[in-house]
């Protein structure tokens, strides 16, 4: 079974990106499972805090989830044309200490997708992730791109994916990424 970890970069209860992640869980190809990770409760990174008390347990748990997964999907919102600070902060924590970065991220298959109420579908946030993913030593998947624009029209009031075209695109995206991640594990 190919095990993929999905992380939503939003803390909002009614997050479109969390809704997209949960829709993806129901559309995974046969032989694959998408597990939801969380950035909730991760404190702001401070090197002095790290030196004084080490890695917080919530960060250690997320690091282990990433390390154990066959692939990583980042469901990114876009704030001010870039990566949300809370999401970047979580990834900064998971890269600490630097000597552990290879265990957590080394050659990890990763893909970025996202949903936004705006009209550009997180394209700038997705692009902003590229230097971060390079620095972490991941193996990004570039064969597919999924940017959900005008997300308020795509999800119903309960956060269920209601747009059949987006559902089809998401299913295709997931099949491609899972195939890529499984091939890297061989």
Question: pTM surpassing 0.95?
Answer: yes
Contact predicate 84/10, CB 8 Å: yes
- Strand runs labelled E in 20-133: 32-37, 71-75, 109-115
Q: Between 57-68 and 85-94, two packed helices, what is the crossing angle to 10 degrees?
A: 80
Residue 106: CB atoms within 10 A of its CB come to: 13
Please give the pLDDT value at position 107.
Answer: 96
Please give the pLDDT value at position 144.
Answer: 86
Secondary structure of residue 6 in the 3-state scheme: strand
If one looks up domain 2-185 in CATH, what number appears?
Answer: 3.40.50.360
Please give the pLDDT value at position 186.
Answer: 67
Question: Whole-angstrom Cα distance, residue 132 to residue 130?
Answer: 5
Q: Map out the domains of the chain as residue ranges.
A: 2-185
Please give the pLDDT value at position 135.
Answer: 96
Q: Provide the residue-wise pLDDT of the chain in tens; the chain has 186 residues.
A: 999 999 999 999 999 999 999 999 999 999 999 999 999 999 999 999 999 999 999 999 999 999 999 999 999 999 999 999 999 999 999 999 999 999 999 999 999 999 999 988 899 999 999 999 999 999 999 998 999 999 999 999 999 999 999 999 999 999 999 999 999 986
In the chain, what is the greatest distance between 2 CA atoms, to the nearest angstrom? 50
């Amino acid at each position: 079974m190919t095990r993929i970890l999905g992380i939503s970069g939003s803390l909002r209860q009614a997050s479109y990106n969390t809704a997209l992640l949960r829709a993806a869980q129901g559309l995974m190809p046969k032989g694959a499972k998408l597990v939801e990770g969380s950035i909730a409760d991760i404190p702001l990174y401070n090197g002095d805090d790290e030196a004084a008390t080490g890695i917080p347990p919530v960060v250690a748990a997320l690091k282990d989830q990433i390390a154990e997964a066959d692939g990583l999907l980042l469901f990114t919102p876009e704030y001010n044309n870039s990566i949300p600070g809370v999401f970047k902060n979580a990834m900064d924590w998971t890269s600490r200490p630097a000597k552990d970065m290879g265990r957590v991220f080394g050659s990890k298959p990763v893909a970025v997708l996202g949903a936004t109420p705006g009209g550009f579908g997180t394209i700038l946030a997705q692009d902003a992730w590229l230097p971060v993913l390079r620095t972490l030593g991941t193996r990004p998947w570039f064969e597919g791109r999924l940017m959900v624009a005008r997300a308020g029209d795509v999800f119903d009031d309960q956060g269920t994916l209601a747009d059949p075209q987006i559902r089809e695109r998401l299913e295709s995206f997931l099949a491609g990424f899972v195939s890529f991640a499984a091939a890297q594990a061989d």
